[in-house]
Amino acid sequence: MENKNNQKQNNQNHQKGQQKKKSSNTSLIFLGVVVLSYIVLYFIDSVKTIAAINYVIAIILEIIPILLIVYVIMVIFSLLDEKKLKKAIDKAPKLLKYVLMSILGTISHGPIYAWYPFLKDLNEKGLSRGPIGTFLYSRGIKLTLIPMLVSFFDLKFVIILTITTLVFSVFEGFLIDVSYLPKRN
Amino acid sequence: MKTKLFKTAKALVKNMPIMFSVILLLGIVKEFITFDKVATLFTSNTLIDTGIGSLVGSIFAGNSMNSYIIARELQVAGISLYAITAFLISWVTVGLLQAPIEAKMFGTSFAVKRNILSAILAMVVSLITVTLWGLI
């Protein structure tokens, strides 16, 4: 019986390894296609292509410090007792998870893709996909850019927009979680 | 401790190729797709324009500051505030360009559901925000 279980576990690990390898290959192929597009575009319009490369360099320089922050947060999370963390996540009231992720999303800074590894980490530690959706939606609120938005529109508009976005970030998380509930027969 | 530092770094580095691809795509969109003709896409129907605003915001991505500047231009061009608000919200909450990385991280089903839902909610948020703004 134990041998059978071990064999099953080994098969599962092997399949997971194969899937990871396949996913990694797909990422590299995708990157290759995009790089190839740049080479083709260079021959079509070299000025615009160089401007695009400069823009890419600027984004990379912008996300390096954010990736460092994400790295530090991920290391801190990895130091926590995983079982206790999973238990705490499981036990926490659902609404609290949505609200906390909504606040985190609002104060998080920089491009969203820099935060994906951190969110994935939380997901693997037991956080459902709903609060992740909440985090991603609440990023619609840009605290640092509020003065600019106020100057373009007006304060009343920005306050209503911010509150509505926060409320709907929680709602989106809830809907995503509902969509993952097992269907009743 | 050393192992945890290394494992975390490895997890981050593993996601670099797809992250880098998305950034490169953003560069192409920024330089090769002009925003000048965005205003011509809108009709004078509030509901249709809100939908178009959400759709356009979903396709474009990048720094939010750019979306504010485009939104300002759209406002000057006389586009409805419903459409502009939907555009602003979906610019950040929907990421068609980031969808491949999102699908890789959390599964295709999540990426599809979340982006469709976010585009619809961008319209709802816009309708509520602008209506309340007019009423208060």
CB–CB of B28 and A149 under 8 A? no
Return the residue of A nearest to B28 by Cα: A52
Amino acid sitting at position A119: L
CA end-to-end span of chain B: 55
The reply to whether the predicted model has a pTM over 0.95 is no
> Is the CB of B98 inside 8 Å of chain A's CB atoms?
yes
ipTM of the complex: 0.82
pLDDT in tens, B21-65: 878 887 887 788 766 667 778 888 889 999 999 998 888 777 777
Q: Which of A45, A117, A165 sits opposite B15 (nearest CB)?
A: A117
User: In angstroms, what separates the C-alpha of B42 from chain A's closest C-alpha?
Assistant: 20
Return the residue of A nearest to B93 by Cα: A137
Residue A41 reports pLDDT greater than 90: yes
Q: What is the pLDDT of residue B87?
A: 93
Q: Tell me the Ramachandran region of residue A110: left when phi exceeds 0, alpha when psi lies from -120 to 50, beta otherwise.
A: left
Q: Report CA-CA distances (Å) from A142 to A33, A93, B51.
A: 33, 27, 22
